[in-house]
Amino acid sequence: MASDRRSSWLKGVLDLLVLSCLTDGESYGYEIAKALAEAGLGEIKGGTLYPVLNRLEQAGLVEAEFRASERGPGRRYYRLTDPGRIRLADEGAAWTEFHRAVRTQLHAGGTAP
């Protein structure tokens, strides 16, 4: 049950988290998934991550470029576009406000520190 709840929470914010992984420059899927896992968000599988990246690309929030590799398979690198940066700032602010409201309510109910 806890993993179902966590999965639902993640679905609501995964686009925003993926955009945030690209603020320091380009990256590819495996590195993005690794960064999210290291942030404590758990394993994000390719079947979840790549549709998000494709959706963000179709929306013009990220750009992608395939690069062949001398060793192993090529990789698709993603970078944030200017509209992606704007969306990240706007939705990041909205998420922060929502998080604040949830914490306030939980505190009022005596369930948050």
Structure tokens at 60: 């013009």
7 confidence band (pLDDT: 50, 70, 90): confident
- Widest Cα–Cα separation across the chain: 58
What is the pLDDT at residue 72?
82
Query: What is the four-CA torsion angle of 58, 54, 30, 49, rounded to 10 degrees?
Result: 130
User: How does pLDDT run across 10-19, given as a tens digit for each residue?
Assistant: 888 999 999 9
User: How does pLDDT run across 40-97, given as a tens digit for each residue?
Assistant: 998 999 999 999 999 999 999 999 999 998 888 889 999 999 999 999 999 999 999 9
Q: Give the integer Cα–Cα distance in Å for 31 and 79.
A: 13
What is the pLDDT at residue 75?
94
Please indicate whether residue 6 or residue 95 has the higher confidence score (pLDDT): 95
Q: Give the integer Cα–Cα distance in Å for 36 and 98.
A: 21
